[in-house]
Each structure stands twice: as C-alpha cells, then as structure tokens.
C-alpha cells in the first residue's frame, strides 16, 4: 500500500476534488479526514466531507470535526462567495448521504490515534486553515516523529486571493499558520497560489471529466459557484483546483518541483496580515545580512510542475481511467 495520508479540509469545491483524488487512488492509504472551519462554517465542511466519502464509496474512512474558529482572532469572513453558502455550489444535499457516523472524538484526537497506530510515518495534507494542525502539534509535541511531512495548500509568494497580500487558508488563521510553518520543527511543503493558479483547468478538461461519469462526473456538477468566480479571478475561462495540486504532491511525492526557502507569516494587523513572507534572496547574499534579517525556519515551496502532466494525473484518477 502507498502513501499513508490524513487530509485536513474545509470543503469547499476544490477540496471536494482533492479528497476524491485521494479516496479513489488505490495506491493511497487514506487513514482519515478531519474537518475545519474555513470556506464555510464547520458544520457545513463536516457534512460535505462525509458526503464526498460516501460518493467515493469509502465508508472505511473516519471523519472527525475539528476547530470551528481560529486560534486567537475571529475569521473576518468565509469564502461562501466563491464556493456557495453550503460550500458546494448549493448542491451538497444532492450528494449521497453519509455511510458512516461522524466520529465521536474531535479532529485532533482522531489524528493522534491514527498517527500513533500507523506502522510508518504519515503524510498530513492540510487544505484549509491550519488551526487543527497547530492544535495537534501544540498538544502532542511527541507526535512529530510519526509525521512524514505536512503538504499544505496555502500562501502566495507574489500575490494573495483574499486580500492583496494573503491567501485564504493562511489569512483565515495567521497565528495557526505561523505556528505550523515557522515555529514547529516539522517538515513542511507549501503549495502556494503562484503554482496552483498555473495549474488551472479549462472547460474542455471539465467537460471530458463530466463525460467520464462516476466520481469525476459528479464533482464537475458541483462547480457552479467556481465557474462564476474564477473567470473573474483568472481573466480567462477555467477554474483553479488549488487543493488538488497539494494532494497530488502528497500522494505522488515529487510531482511538484520544490525549492527550500526561509519563511515567516505576518500575524500583525496591517495590510499584509496573513501574508506568507518567503525569502527568495540568494543564500549567499542572505548569509551576509545582519542577524535577524532572515527568518530562521525554512520550508519546501512548490514552484513548478509539468502542468499538463499534473492535469492528466488528476484526470486519469478522477475519471477512473487509471
Ligand atoms: O486559497 C485557496 C484555498 O482556500 C483552497 O484551500 C480553497 O479551498 C480555500 O479553502
Ligand atoms: Ca480548502
């Protein structure tokens, strides 16, 4: 069996594609799914995750609900304007009803039990705000040794999407993001907007997936709110399946090209609150700079991929042709 994986998620249309990508992949051992507030409130993200696993025929995968709000400061607004009020273009209740009860334990407790029981280190793919991950690492510091790596959809090096400077997942809980990306000593891969936007899929890709029927066909039926939003954001026809790019890396290590950089997260209340501050100055130059002018911690940042190859990887698995 391939990658042992836990997905922490706020479905969310792109989360739906990402969760399904893992759930239909025979070479992925999807241990569990944990939910967090984000695109829409926790109650909606949680039923969406459960329904999506039912769609994928995965009653074996436990779902546990996590944080319903950020660590410290409230989330100013949700992304319902992008994903629809229920998180899935208003069509969540057209999906199959859950085929498994929601776990009685919370997300952190489920993650700890799955990590402790695993016979090898586990990959965690957070594709929503990082609140649950920050709580996990704060409450269970010893669990780090059971985490292979954390592959995060989040951040923007040259632009934001929720504010000028900040990407939604990081912006929704900057304190949690700083905890995970800067303060905790856990191997992280950051998959930022700069790459996910380049991985946008066009209408032909969506139409072919729709024609494949099955899971892929059902997912394309959930994209209505995205189809309204993304042409405005992209300036061209298409949609951005951000979370799917991160989960593709989580389940197929190396599908994305990464480079290691120092990183900080802006937790102030200025215009760049929630920005991921990635230091791309040349290492030789950084070495000359006075103490304290370069962030201490470094993460792998996903900077490139074979765009068509990634789109084909996702298509083949969601269409069932692989
Ligand atoms: O900025 C994109 C991210 O925010 C994705 O995870 C999307 O689902 C939203 O949560
Ligand atoms: Ca998400």
pLDDT tens-digit series, residues 287-299: 787 887 777 899 9
Task: Tell me the sheet residues that pair with 6.
Answer: 32, 124
- 146 pLDDT tier (thresholds 50, 70, 90): very high
pLDDT tens-digit series, residues 75-116: 999 999 999 999 999 999 999 999 999 999 999 999 999 999
Distance of CA 177 to the CA centre of its chain: 13
**Local structure of 125: helix, strand or coil:** strand
The rounded distance, in Å, linking the Cα atoms of 284 and 235 is 38
Instruction: Give the pLDDT score at 90.
Output: 98
Q: How remote is the CA of residue 12 from the centroid of ligand 1, in Å?
A: 7
Q: Ligand 1 pocket, 156 CB below 6 A? A: no
Contact 62, 103 (CB under 8 A): yes
Q: Ligand 1 pocket, 161 CB below 6 A? A: yes
Q: Ligand 1 pocket, 188 CB below 6 A? A: no
Instruction: Give the pLDDT score at 290.
Output: 81
The rounded distance, in Å, linking the Cα atoms of 99 and 254 is 34
Burial of residue 283 (CB within 10 Å: 0-12, 13-18, 19+) is exposed
Instruction: Give the pLDDT score at 322.
Output: 73
Tell me the CA distances in angstroms from 212 to 139, 219, 220, one per residue in order.
44, 11, 10
pLDDT tens-digit series, residues 9-68: 999 999 999 999 999 999 999 999 999 999 999 999 999 999 999 999 999 999 999 999
Q: How remote is the CA of residue 30 from the centroid of ligand 2, in Å?
A: 17
**Local structure of 202: helix, strand or coil:** coil
Q: How remote is the CA of residue 2 from the centroid of ligand 2, in Å?
A: 24
The rounded distance, in Å, linking the Cα atoms of 46 and 43 is 5
Instruction: Give the pLDDT score at 283.
Output: 82
Q: How remote is the CA of residue 292 from the centroid of ligand 2, in Å?
A: 33
Average pLDDT over residues 113-139: 98
Task: Give the ligand at the shortest distance from the Cα of 168.
Answer: 1
Q: Catalytic residue numbers?
A: 242
- Interhelix angle 131-139/107-117, rounded to 10 degrees, is 60
Contact 127, 10 (CB under 8 A): yes
The secondary element (H helix, E strand) that includes residue 302 is: strand 298-305
pLDDT of 1 higher than 90: no
CA-39 nearest atom, ligand 1:
10
Task: Give the ligand at the shortest distance from the Cα of 161.
Answer: 1
The rounded distance, in Å, linking the Cα atoms of 162 and 183 is 24
Average pLDDT over residues 142-166: 98
CATH assignment of 3-319, among 3.40.50.970, 3.40.190.10, 3.90.245.10, 3.40.50.2300: 3.90.245.10
Q: Ligand 1 pocket, 25 CB below 6 A? A: no
pLDDT tens-digit series, residues 197-251: 999 999 999 999 999 998 999 999 999 999 999 999 999 999 999 999 999 999 9
Instruction: Give the pLDDT score at 256.
Output: 98
Lookup result for tokens 């200025």 = 270
The rounded distance, in Å, linking the Cα atoms of 34 and 25 is 18
Nearest CA to 263 out of 183, 162, 167, 168 is that of 183
The rounded distance, in Å, linking the Cα atoms of 140 and 220 is 38
The secondary element (H helix, E strand) that includes residue 74 is: none
* Cβ neighbours for 314, distance < 8 A, ≥ 6 positions apart: 17, 21, 241, 244, 248
pLDDT of 127 higher than 70: yes
Average pLDDT of the chain to the nearest whole number = 96
Average pLDDT over residues 171-196: 97
Burial of residue 150 (CB within 10 Å: 0-12, 13-18, 19+) is buried
Instruction: Give the pLDDT score at 209.
Output: 98
The secondary element (H helix, E strand) that includes residue 212 is: none
Q: Ligand 1 pocket, 155 CB below 6 A? A: no
Task: Give the ligand at the shortest distance from the Cα of 196.
Answer: 1
CA-162 nearest atom, ligand 1:
1
**Local structure of 262: helix, strand or coil:** strand
- 286 pLDDT tier (thresholds 50, 70, 90): confident
């Amino acid at each position: 069996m391939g990658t042992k994986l836990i997905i922490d998620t706020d479905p969310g249309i792109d989360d739906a594609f990402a969760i399904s990508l893992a759930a239909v992949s025979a070479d992925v051992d999807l241990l569990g799914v944990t939910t967090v507030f984000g695109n829409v409130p926790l109650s909606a993200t949680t039923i969406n995750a459960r329904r999506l696993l039912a769609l994928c025929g995965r009653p074996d995968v436990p779902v546990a609900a996590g944080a319903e709000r950020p660590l410290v400061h409230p989330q100013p607004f949700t992304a319902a304007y992008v994903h629809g009020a229920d998180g899935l273009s208003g069509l969540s209740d057209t999906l199959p009803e859950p085929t498994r009860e929601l776990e009685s334990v919370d997300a952190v407790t489920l993650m700890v039990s799955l990590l402790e029981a695993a016979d090898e280190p586990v990959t965690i793919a957070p594709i929503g705000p990082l609140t649950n991950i920050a709580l996990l690492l704060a409450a269970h510091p010893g669990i780090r040794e059971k985490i292979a790596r954390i592959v995060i959809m989040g951040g923007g090096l040259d632009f934001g999407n929720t504010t000028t400077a900040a990407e939604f997942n990081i912006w929704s809980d900057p304190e949690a993001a700083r905890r995970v990306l800067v303060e905790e000593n856990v191997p992280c891969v950051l998959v930022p907007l700069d790459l996910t936007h380049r991985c946008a899929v066009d209408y032909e890709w969506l139409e072919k997936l729709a024609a494949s029927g099955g899971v892929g066909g059902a997912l394309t039926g959930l994209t209505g709110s995205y189809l309204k939003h993304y042409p405005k954001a992209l300036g061209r026809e298409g949609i951005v399946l951000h979370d799917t790019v991160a989960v593709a890396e989580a389940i197929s290590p190396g599908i994305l090209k990464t480079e290691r950089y120092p990183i900080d997260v802006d937790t102030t209340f200025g215009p760049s609150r929630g920005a991921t501050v990635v230091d791309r100055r040349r290492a030789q130059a950084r070495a000359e700079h006075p103490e304290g002018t370069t962030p201490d911690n470094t993460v792998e940042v996903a900077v490139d991929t074979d765009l068509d190859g990634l789109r084909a990887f996702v298509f083949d698995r969601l269409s069932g042709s692989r």
